[in-house]
């Protein structure tokens, strides 16, 4: 009896280590709303409106562009994620002016990278579409859209730097409000400019790109004003943050961020390679790929939000010299992620035809997409585990482990597997599509294995920033 009591006491002590579940959920809920608004809802709304108002060729052109835009968005996250690890450590150690210097350096790095990606897309959009192997009609429609949309992505770079600072100092509420304003702006101009409502001209896909530019431009203005005029943030800045530039802090953020740039973009580019493999299966397969991907990402939003908060929670715990608390927090977040994402996927798989039909009002490919979605979604758990553990390792500053694992697995596991599955002489399109798509989760499962091994070794807790 005494042994049982002792065991229970030890388990309760373990549960009390790290952040409490209520605190985790308190940080997570605003981040969930922000992730939904920033990453998930815009492409869903885009797909829904275009699928219901334009031809399937236009929808296919949008679907191909979304994969590049997703990669650019992950690229945009890289600098802020690295900065969160730096700022979180300084904030945990109460070195407030160091936090402000890191934000100034982060802001100018995001400006540079945002401009860089826009210039690249401006001159290569047509070449990108032709490399994918889509019909020429999709090239004609999609290339101008991708150019204009990438200008909107420029503002995503700067916005993520600003909201990343807020998250690093444990303010996830204001980014949520900013994102609420942003999605309201996007929905209004998406409807107005794509469909030609409320007296605006009908611009089709170009209207969607302009809506993105207006959305993130307004969000940036709000974020800058909040940081500048919030009295609680005065302790972080000697002067206005965008006039602060520290060469030392810039090098520190770059040193942490270049591995994240490689790991996030190499991983996100998997969707581009996947799109190229699927493009040869026809227009309906291209459209089905977009629908399946969007539904999975919608179900995956809780995990993305947990991955965001695990970075700054682990960073702050390690900054306070509490590695056991950091480990306990990771375990709690993993359990909460599996439960929330699993529930979402069960609901979607139970009536997949209903959810797919939102994006296929004419019923052209609903039967196909509704069949492959449950077959593929059962492997999402692999992606979930690797995303949470990657976020935790980044919070500890162990960014190179994440980089080399993702880069190596994407290059040597996913790429060849998807290519070989695509070469198989399989006449059944459902089986071939599912096999090619499953190569993505084969790679995420491999990543999860390596990240779990690294986490259990506890070496990541001693990483220097």
Structure confidence by residue, pLDDT tens digits, 258-275: 777 787 777 778 888 998
Residue-level pLDDT at 6: 46
CA distance linking residue 293 with residue 277, whole number of Å: 15
Q: In the predicted model, is pLDDT for residue 7 greater than 50?
A: no
Percent of the chain residues topping a pLDDT of 70:
89
Q: Are 83 and 255 in contact (CB under 8 A)?
A: no
Range picked from 12-21, 207-216, 255-264, 390-399 for highest mean pLDDT:
207-216
Closest CA to 60 of 152, 135, 150, 155: 135
Residue with tokens 């040597």: 412
Cα atoms in the 13 Å half-sphere on the side-chain side of 426: 15
| DSSP assigned state of 456 | H
E strands of 88-241, at which residues? Answer: none
Range picked from 31-35, 67-71, 264-268, 378-382 for highest mean pLDDT:
378-382
Greater model confidence, 6 or 115: 115
Structure confidence by residue, pLDDT tens digits, 82-102: 777 677 667 666 666 777 777
Mean pLDDT computed over 154-173: 81
Q: DSSP labels for 364-379?
A: SSHHHHHHHHHHHHTT
Domain ranges of the chain: 16-462
Q: Are 179 and 189 in contact (CB under 8 A)?
A: no
Residue-level pLDDT at 99: 72
Greater model confidence, 54 or 403: 403
3-state secondary structure of 148: helix
User: Which pair of tokens denotes residue 225?
Assistant: 């004003």
Q: Are 312 and 167 in contact (CB under 8 A)?
A: yes
CA distance linking residue 141 with residue 125, whole number of Å: 11
CA distance linking residue 382 with residue 371, whole number of Å: 21
């Amino acid at each position: 009896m005494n042994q049982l009591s002792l065991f229970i006491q030890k388990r309760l002590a373990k549960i009390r280590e790290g952040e409490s579940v209520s605190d985790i959920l308190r940080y997570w809920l605003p981040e969930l709303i922000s992730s939904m608004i920033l990453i998930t809802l815009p492409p869903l709304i885009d797909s829904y409106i275009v699928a219901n108002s334009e031809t399937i060729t236009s929808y296919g052109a949008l679907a191909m562009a979304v994969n590049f835009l997703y990669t650019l968005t992950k690229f945009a996250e890289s600098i802020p994620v690295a900065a969160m690890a730096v700022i979180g450590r300084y904030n945990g150690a109460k070195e407030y002016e160091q936090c402000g210097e890191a934000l100034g350096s982060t802001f100018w790095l995001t400006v540079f990278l945002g401009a860089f990606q826009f210039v690249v897309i401006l001159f290569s959009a047509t070449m990108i579409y032709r490399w994918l192997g889509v019909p020429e009609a999709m090239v004609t429609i999609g290339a101008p859209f991708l150019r204009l949309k990438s200008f909107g992505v420029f503002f995503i770079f700067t916005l993520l730097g600003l909201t990343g600072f807020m998250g690093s100092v444990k303010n996830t509420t204001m980014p949520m409000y900013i994102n609420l304003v942003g999605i309201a702006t996007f929905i209004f101009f998406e409807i107005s400019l794509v469909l030609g409502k409320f007296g605006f001209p009908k611009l089709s896909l170009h209207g969607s790109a302009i809506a993105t530019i207006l959305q993130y431009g307004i969000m940036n203005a709000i974020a800058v004003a909040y940081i500048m005029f919030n009295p609680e943030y005065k302790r972080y800045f000697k002067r206005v943050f965008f006039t602060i530039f520290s060469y030392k802090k810039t090098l520190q953020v770059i040193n942490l961020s270049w591995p994240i740039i490689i790991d996030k973009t190499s991983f996100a580019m998997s969707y581009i390679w996947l799109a190229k493999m699927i493009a040869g299966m026809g227009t309906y397969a291209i459209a089905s790929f977009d629908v399946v991907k969007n539904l999975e990402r919608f179900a995956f939003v809780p995990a993305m939000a947990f991955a965001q908060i695990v970075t700054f929670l682990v960073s702050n715990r390690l900054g306070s010299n509490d590695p056991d608390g950091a480990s306990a927090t990771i375990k709690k977040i993993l359990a909460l992620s599996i439960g929330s994402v699993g529930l979402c996927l069960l609901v979607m798989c139970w009536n997949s035809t209903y959810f797919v039909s939102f994006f296929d009002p004419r019923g052209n490919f609903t039967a196909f997409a509704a069949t492959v979605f449950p077959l593929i979604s059962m492997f999402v758990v692999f992606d979930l585990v690797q995303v949470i553990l990657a976020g935790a390792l980044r919070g500890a500053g162990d960014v190179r482990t994440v980089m080399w694992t993702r880069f190596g697995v994407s290059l040597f596991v996913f790429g060849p597997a998807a290519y070989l599955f695509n070469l198989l002489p399989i006449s059944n399109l459902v089986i071939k599509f599912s096999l090619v798509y499953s190569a993505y989760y084969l790679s995420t499962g491999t990543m999860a294995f390596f990240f779990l091994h690294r986490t259990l070794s506890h070496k990541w807790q001693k990483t220097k920033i």
